[in-house]
A and B are shown apart, each in its own frame.
Chain A
Amino acid sequence: MVRRRIVVTGLGAVSGLGADVKANFAAALAGEGAIRRRSFDPGPEGPEAYEMPAALVEGDLVAPLETALGRRIGASLDPFALFALASAQEALAQAGLIGHAALERRTALVLGHGFAGIHTLEASYLRYFGRKSARMHPLTVPKVMVSAPASAVAMSFGIRGPVFAVSSACASSGHAIAQGAGFIATGACDLAVVGGSEAIATPGCLKAWDGLQAMSPTACRPFSAGRDGMAIGEGGAVLVLEELEHARARGAAILAECAGVGLSSDAFHWTQPSLEGAVSAMTAALAAADLGPKARLLVSTHGTGTLLNDRNEAAALHAVLGDAVVDTPIIATKSAHGHLIGATAALQAVLALEALRSGKAPPILNHLGRDPECDLDLVLGEPRDIFAEAALVNAFAFGGLNASLAFRRWE
């Protein structure tokens, strides 16, 4: 059987860095990070307000989306569905697929989320348990359910193929991209709208993250000496994957090739990573993409800024890349947009593809100095001109679920 090649024909993104791909990549290149100290107030029924660094989406997304879609959205969506819808709108518009008949058949839609409608759930529980109001809002369930963003996107654009959500914590949108690519590779679909979204910056949920002892009190400093944890971000990112001949037949602009995915499980620990799991995912992605030891790569690391992840990921990169590790540019964009949990793999894929296309890699922010246990060719200070033929994007989740994605630059 002839291998079906998969290309990327649309990208969309929303995060604290900006409301579209262009704004996100420009801010990342300029080193304008979005992580700031924010106040989170549990309200009069809860304990005292507290502060934590986080990267939050600014500005109104509803009004521009209502204009683009030609219908009201109002208060009907939880932020995690709104972020997915805004990202999908941008990606489908770039791919020239808004209103296209191809969406009505043989198009998959798979979105990844680590959590679900946390804003809606927390507000309704506050009302029920805190204020002892006996009624729940009639749309609580459709707003909270983890498949709400997939349904919102499908209804908005008329996508009628396989549509569902996947979840693997911080690797969720990596698994979503892999799943969508699989639908195209097997011949079941010609198009796959894939990615993820997350919106968990509520007083209750961030307090739960704080309980993990993994949150930085200052900033996210991936691979740096003195790093002290992660910072939460929010937003969404979507890619349109398409079978190569299908894209060519309709004259779509091709942005990159989705060349290989590698999935693995550590089967080891809730919060500690394993070397074997990370090595296995990266090795499988590179092999599937036919990227050998001489390939010129850009690596978008999971790079959370926690002591354990970064040390483990650096060791895994040495194991996978061997001697080539010394001149493989390494980026860690969570230092700019924070950790988007279920959406992080998709957002990092979008930024890595923009880096491949432009030949410019965004710098890692908040760096304090070299950590000998993270001996990598880190892109620091300024954007760097790169000559990579492919990008490897890593997502390693709590619970040991790993996804690595390999994209080739399209000539």
Chain B
Amino acid sequence: MTALRDELLDLIADEALVDRAKLTPQATLTDVGLDSVGVVSVVFAVEERYGIEIAEDALRDVTDLEGFLASIEDVIATGKAA
């Protein structure tokens, strides 16, 4: 696991108030207890931590944790490159 992914999982566990061990890549956002408020909370925490802005539609089609993480990592990589 990359250091970035490790940080993101910590952050999701803190924002969604879930056990870190439940955060497997296959889990759906519903499985890990991420409702719409939880998703936005994670987005805010990521924006604060990495100093980036995540567009509202960037996570629109995401349903599982793997997709969620990949999308966020993508924005962080793009943000840092820019």
Q: Report A226 CB to chain B, min CB distance, Å.
A: 43
Whether the pair B37, A74 counts as a contact (CB closer than 8 A) is no
Interface residues on B, range: 10 to 19
In the bound complex, what is the Cα–Cα distance between A256 and B16 (angstroms)? 41
> Which residues from A are CB-within-8-Å of B65?
none
Whether the pair B17, A137 counts as a contact (CB closer than 8 A) is no
Whether the pair A76, B37 counts as a contact (CB closer than 8 A) is no
A137-B44, A138-B37, A138-B40 known; A74 vs B53 contact (CB < 8 Å): no
Q: Report A347 CB to chain B, min CB distance, Å.
A: 28
> Which residues from B are CB-within-8-Å of A76?
17
Q: Report A120 CB to chain B, min CB distance, Å.
A: 12
Chain B, range 5-33, C-beta contacts under 8 Å to A: 13-19
Whether the pair B13, A72 counts as a contact (CB closer than 8 A) is yes
Whether the pair A72, B41 counts as a contact (CB closer than 8 A) is no
Chain A, range 129-153, C-beta contacts under 8 Å to B: 133, 135, 137-139
Which of these, B13, B14, B37, B48, contacts A139 with CB under 8 Å?
B37
Q: Which residue of B lies closest to A127 (CB)?
A: B48
Looking at A74, A76, A139, which has the most chain B CB atoms within 10 Å of its CB?
A74
> Which residues from A are CB-within-8-Å of B16?
74
> Which residues from A are CB-within-8-Å of B44?
135, 137-138
> Which residues from B are CB-within-8-Å of A138?
37, 40-41, 44
In the bound complex, what is the Cα–Cα distance between A73 and B41 (angstroms)? 14
B59 within 8 A of A: no
Which of these, A74, A127, A133, A137, contacts B14 with CB under 8 Å?
A74
Q: Which residue of B lies closest to A72 (CB)?
A: B17
Which label, helix, strand, loop or mixed, suits the secondary structure of the A interface? loop
In the bound complex, what is the Cα–Cα distance between A72 and B17 (angstroms)? 5
B45 within 8 A of A: yes
A250 within 8 A of B: no
Per-residue CB contact flags for chain A residues 337-370 toward chain B (1 = under 8 Å, else 0) read 0000000000000000000000000000000000
A72-B18, A72-B19 known; A137 vs B41 contact (CB < 8 Å): yes
Whether the pair B40, A74 counts as a contact (CB closer than 8 A) is no
Q: Report A373 CB to chain B, min CB distance, Å.
A: 50
In the bound complex, what is the Cα–Cα distance between A127 and B37 (angstroms)? 19
In the bound complex, what is the Cα–Cα distance between A73 and B13 (angstroms)? 10
Which of these, A73, A133, A135, contacts B17 with CB under 8 Å?
A73
Whether the pair B17, A71 counts as a contact (CB closer than 8 A) is yes
In the bound complex, what is the Cα–Cα distance between A133 and B52 (angstroms)? 11
Q: Which residue of A lies closest to B56 (CB)?
A: A135
A101 within 8 A of B: no
> Which residues from A are CB-within-8-Å of B14?
72, 74-75
> Which residues from A are CB-within-8-Å of B40?
137-138
In the bound complex, what is the Cα–Cα distance between A127 and B44 (angstroms)? 11
Whether the pair B53, A133 counts as a contact (CB closer than 8 A) is yes
Q: Report B37 CB to chain A, min CB distance, Å.
A: 5
Per-residue CB contact flags for chain B residues 39-73 toward chain A (1 = under 8 Å, else 0) read 01100110110000100000000000000000000
Q: Report B14 CB to chain A, min CB distance, Å.
A: 4
Q: Report B9 CB to chain A, min CB distance, Å.
A: 13
> Which residues from B are CB-within-8-Å of A71?
17
> Which residues from A are CB-within-8-Å of B53?
133
> Which residues from B are CB-within-8-Å of A75?
14-15, 41, 45
Q: Report B20 CB to chain A, min CB distance, Å.
A: 9
Q: Which residue of A lies closest to B44 (CB)?
A: A137
Chain A, range 55-99, C-beta contacts under 8 Å to B: 71-76
In the bound complex, what is the Cα–Cα distance between A133 and B40 (angstroms)? 14
Looking at A72, A127, A133, A139, which has the most chain B CB atoms within 10 Å of its CB?
A72
Q: Report B2 CB to chain A, min CB distance, Å.
A: 22
In the bound complex, what is the Cα–Cα distance between A304 and B45 (angstroms)? 38
> Which residues from A are CB-within-8-Å of B19?
72
> Which residues from B are CB-within-8-Å of A72?
13-14, 17-19
Can you spell out 11 A-B residue pairs with CB atoms less than 8 angstroms apart?
A: A72-B13, A72-B18, A74-B13, A74-B17, A75-B14, A75-B41, A75-B45, A137-B41, A138-B40, A138-B41, A139-B37
Chain B residues close to A by CB (< 8 Å): 13-19, 37, 40-41, 44-45, 47-48, 53
Chain A residues close to B by CB (< 8 Å): 71-76, 127, 133, 135, 137-139
